[in-house]
Amino acid sequence: MDVTTALTCRNSTRAFLDRPVGDEQIRAILDAARWAPSGVNTQPWQVAVVRGAGKQKLADALIAARAGAAPNPDYRYYPEQWFDPFKERRKQCGLALYQALEIRREDTDKQRAAWDNNYRFFGAPVGLLLFLDRRLGQGSWIDMGMFMQSIMLAAQDQGLATCPQASLADYPDVVRGQLAIEDNLALLGGIALGYADPDAAVNRFRTEREPVENFTRWYE
């Protein structure tokens, strides 16, 4: 698969088949992604791979934490106050997703269940959790973004689907406690990894992208 095709075909998959992903496939994906660029070759990424009973135990702990406490992430992903055009894009994304899931505004129980599904990695057989040392600067966060994209493109080349998940960073202390991760490692989020369920309506949901003209300025 060429890179352009991988970029344009990749989408955030939210329903997976109950089909295992082999260790060799996971290792091949990470082996390719490790060549992502980083400032002065710092390679700041740390990855935890969760599967099977360990993944289920982690999901249960995150859902239990959500029932009793507000999120306390290691960083703020979204702005404190939304403003256009980002506010409108967020709104349209949420409306389209809930429509694909057949969840109405008043269906609070279904909304909660849908959000809890984030912590289950949407049923994917593999979850990747991504960490970096808190002492590193903001440039390393850029490096982590390139590493995450590299993972998703490498997975696409393997015929696997992914979903990047900031929600998995909602309760970092729970994750660190469950996985015995050092406190100096900040949790950025995770990636659900597996085979997409082709029959799931939610996997036919797509977000729009702005044309090049709307975000590019040319100078001579």
| Per-residue pLDDT reduced to its tens digit, 142-195 | 999 999 999 999 999 999 999 999 999 999 999 999 999 999 999 999 999 999
Strand ranges for the chain from DSSP E = 46-51, 126-133, 161-165, 185-194
Confidence band, pLDDT 50/70/90 cuts, at residue 138:
very high
CATH fold of 3-207 reads NADH Oxidase (3.40.109)
Look at residue 108 and tell me whether its pLDDT is greater than 90: no
pLDDT for residue 38: 98
- Average pLDDT value for residue range 107-119: 86
Look at residue 30 and tell me whether its pLDDT is greater than 90: yes
Look at residue 129 and tell me whether its pLDDT is greater than 90: yes
pLDDT > 70 in the chain, percent: 100
Q: Where are the domains positioned within the chain?
A: 3-207
Confidence band, pLDDT 50/70/90 cuts, at residue 111:
confident
Confidence band, pLDDT 50/70/90 cuts, at residue 17:
very high
How many whole angstroms separate alpha carbon 137 and alpha carbon 141? 7
Confidence band, pLDDT 50/70/90 cuts, at residue 130:
very high
Q: Running DSSP on this structure, what letter comes out for residue 12?
A: B
Q: Kindly report the pTM of this predicted structure.
A: 0.94
Look at residue 21 and tell me whether its pLDDT is greater than 90: yes
Confidence band, pLDDT 50/70/90 cuts, at residue 109:
confident
- Average pLDDT value for residue range 87-105: 88
pLDDT for residue 89: 94
pLDDT for residue 119: 96
How many whole angstroms separate alpha carbon 97 and alpha carbon 202? 7
What's the order of all strands across the beta sheet hosting 161-165?
46-51, 126-133, 185-194, 161-165
Orientation angle between helical segments 52-68 and 108-119, nearest 10 degrees: 140
How many whole angstroms separate alpha carbon 69 and alpha carbon 90? 25
pLDDT for residue 44: 98
